[in-house]
């Protein structure tokens, strides 16, 4: 089974930056998409950014131009670089690995708080 360990969350000032990491252990056979989701209290979990096999990336409109998703294949790690952070970015961020058939794996989540 794949285990995902997230790190890098914390408290930052508006306009600041954070880099989230998602390290995977175990076989990633069948995985085609690696992504970051976020969920704030009382709100739906939403897709933030995704990277697909081959390197294509997708971003939510709200983070486009500020966030960058990347992958280090040798380290089996997915990153989310977050710049120009806003209070509305405050949420628990989850790493997700998914197959084209719809099954996948979730990380435990890491808290990101943007506040002055």
Q: Is residue 91 over pLDDT 90?
A: yes
In this predicted model, what pLDDT tens digit does every residue of 99-111 receive, in sequence order? 999 899 999 999 9
For the chain, give the number of residues: 116
Please name which of 70, 59, 72 lies closest in space to residue 19, comparing C-alpha atoms.
Answer: 70
State how far the Cα of 108 lies from the Cα of 113, in Å rounded to an integer: 16
Q: What pLDDT sits at residue 83?
A: 98
- What confidence tier does 3 reach under pLDDT thresholds 50, 70, 90? very high
In degrees, rounded to 5, the angle at the alpha carbon of residue 92 between the alpha carbons of residues 24 and 54 is 40
Other CB atoms within 10 A of residue 31 CB: 18
Cα torsion angle, 77, 52, 93, 67, sign: positive
Condensed to tens digits (0 to 9), the pLDDT of residues 9-36 reads: 999 999 999 999 999 998 889 999 999 9
Provide the pLDDT confidence category of residue 1 given band limits of 50, 70 and 90. Answer: confident
| Section 76-98 average pLDDT | 97
The arithmetic mean of pLDDT across residues 49-62, rounded, is 96
- Structure tokens, 95: 């790493």
Which residues, at least 6 apart from 44, have a Cβ–Cβ distance to it below 8 Å?
none
């Amino acid at each position: 089974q794949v285990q995902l360990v997230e790190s890098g969350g914390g408290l930052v000032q508006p306009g600041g930056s954070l880099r989230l990491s998602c390290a995977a252990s175990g076989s990633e056979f069948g995985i085609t998409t690696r992504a970051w989701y976020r969920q704030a209290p009382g709100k739906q979990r939403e897709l933030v950014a995704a990277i697909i096999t081959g390197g294509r990336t997708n971003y939510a409109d709200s983070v486009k131009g500020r966030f960058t998703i990347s992958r280090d294949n040798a380290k089996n790690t997915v990153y989310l670089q977050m710049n120009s952070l806003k209070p509305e970015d405050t949420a628990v961020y989850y790493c997700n690995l998914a197959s084209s058939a719809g099954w996948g794996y979730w990380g435990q989540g890491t808290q990101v708080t943007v506040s002055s």
